[in-house]
Amino acid sequence: MRIADIPQVMEVERESFPSMWPPTAYKRELQQNRLAHYIVVVEHRPAHTGARRGAQAPPAIEEPQPRQGGPVGRLLGELRQILGGDDGRLPPPEQREELVLGFVGVWLLPDEAHIVTIAVRDSHRRQGIGEFLLIAAIELAQRAGQPLMTLECRVSNEPALALYEKYGFQQLGLRPRYYSDTHEDALILTTSSLLSLKYQAALEQLKREHRQRWGDLAERDG
């Protein structure tokens, strides 16, 4: 994720969550939080020609950029706040040369990798993008040598729970009334074998299945 992506990230977040971070929180995460890594999937449409003809370039995943030093922005916990914030004036999605389709945020903590947020643009859901972002987060943790990944998920979010189970996440516990908007409980999910040969082989098979169903997504550094 780049600073310039934040207005579009706010769009995706608004479609996905009842409560939101302010734009300044993402800017602090990118510039000051050494533990934070944010990845976006972007559809590139140079000069809008692909958008008009329906011949769009494949979405690309953009790797996190090195960030400036600084203190950790916040502690783990309920991160989202009902805070306003103008996300700027943006042209309609069909007129943009780059369209942010989804994003994932990961904190590489001393003893685990923690997914703090993951979301996909409403118009591009059920196209394998959320799964692709989860794969990217897992691979980021593996490259950092993290054997453990955790996250929280609403107990009612059955599609997300099924996806996490597919990638080896298991229920570790429960956070009662975790979400401030509805006071819904959150399941604590974890997979503790990211670096094992068995898990790496299973991940490669899942990646092959994802490519066979959804096609290749180009990858480039941010």
**Overall average pLDDT of the 23-40 stretch:** 93
Domain CATH code at residue 205: 3.40.630.30
Per-residue pLDDT, 67? 44
Residues 6+ apart with CB under 8 A from 78: 178, 179, 180
Q: How far apart are CA 81 and CA 217, in angstroms?
A: 33
**Whole-model pTM over 0.75:** yes
Per-residue pLDDT, 47? 60
Three-state secondary-structure class, residue 116: strand
Residue 72 binned pLDDT confidence (cut-offs 50, 70, 90): very low
Above 70 in pLDDT, residue 85?
A: no
For the segment 116-160, what is each residue's pLDDT rounded down to a tens digit? Answer: 999 999 999 999 999 999 999 999 999 999 999 999 999 999 999
Q: How far apart are CA 39 and CA 118, in angstroms?
A: 10
The H helix count followed by the E strand count for the chain is: 6, 8
* Domains: count for the chain: 1
Residue numbers of the domain that contains 190: 3-220
